[in-house]
Amino acid sequence: MSLADADAARRRVRTVIEALVIENKPVVARSDGTSHTLFPVAVSPAEGESLREWVIREEATRTIEVGLGYGVSALYICEGLLTNTGRALHVAIDPHQATRFADCALQFLSDAGTRELVELHCEESQIVLPLLLGGGRQFDLAFVDGNHRFDGIFVDLVYLGRLVRPGGIVFVDDYQLPSVTRAVSFFISNMGWKIEEHSSADELHHWAVLRTAARVEPRSYDHFVEF
C-alpha cells in the first residue's frame, strides 16, 4: 500500500469512528434491522485513542482482540495498524457477533474499509486461543474485553501471555472490576508482567496496559507468589 493509499485508508476509518462517537445515537444493524445503542458497551473515545496509540507505539502489525462487540475498539486498532508499516492483520474473537451484536462490528468495519484486515472467530476464546497457540501464531498486542468473570479472563490471560511476543502489550478493559484486577495481579506477581499505564478510575471503562516479560524465567514446579 502506498503512503497516499494508507493515508486515505486512515481517513476513511477516522470518518467512521467520528460518526459513531460524535453522533452517539442508536444505529440500525443492516443484518436484521434491529436498533443498537453502542455506548457505554463500546469503549470510550479516550480508551480507543489510547489503544490506537499503543498499537502505533509498539509498531504492531499483528493484533488480537477478545470480545469484538460493536467493533469500536477494532476500528481504533485498525487505524493504528494502518499507520504502521508491514502487512497488518487483526484477529477478533466473539461468539456473540451474529446474535447479541447483529454483526454491527462487521458492518462498521466494512464501512471503514477494514473488513479484510480482520480475521473473525465466532467461538468462545477458551476454544479459539489454544488453537491459535497450537498453530504457532504470535501477536504484538492484545486487547482483552471478553468474559469478565475471574475464571474467564484468567484463562484468556494465560493463553495471551503465550501468544503475545515476549515484551509485548496486553491492553485490559474494565480494570475497575475486582475479577479483572485480581486476575491481572497474578501475572504481575508470578509472571513478571508490568503495568505500563492505567487510566483514572472509572465505573464504566477503567483500563490497564500490561507489558509481558521480555524473557520467560524458569520456575520451579511449585512456584507460587501470593497475589
Work out the number of other CB atoms within 10 angstroms of the CB of residue 168: 23
Domain 3-211 matching CATH 3.40.50.970: the answer reads no
The cell numbers describing 188, all together, are 504481575
- The pLDDT value recorded for residue 145 is 97
Q: Domain map of the chain by residue range?
A: 3-211
Residue 141 phi/psi, 5-degree rounding, is -150, 140
> What value does the mean pLDDT take over residues 156-167?
98
- State residue 1's pLDDT score: 65
Q: For residue 3, how many C-alpha atoms fall within 13 Å in the half-sphere facing its CB?
A: 0
pTM of the model: 0.95
Q: H-type helices in 58-124, by residue range?
A: 72-83, 104-111
C-alpha distances out from residue 49 to 54, 116, 150, 211, Å = 9, 22, 27, 18
Nearest to 62 by CA among 175, 143, 146, 152: 143
Question: Please, which pLDDT band fits residue 87 given cuts at 50, 70 and 90?
Answer: confident
Residue with cell 480494570: 175
Q: What is the pLDDT of residues 181-223, one digit of tens each?
A: 999 999 999 999 999 999 987 777 899 999 999 988 889 999 9
Please report the pLDDT score of residue 107 as a whole number.
Answer: 98
Percent of the chain residues topping a pLDDT of 90: 89
Model confidence over 1-34: pLDDT tens digits?
A: 677 787 899 999 999 999 999 889 999 999 999 9
d(CA 73, CA 55): 12
pLDDT mean over 117-141:
98
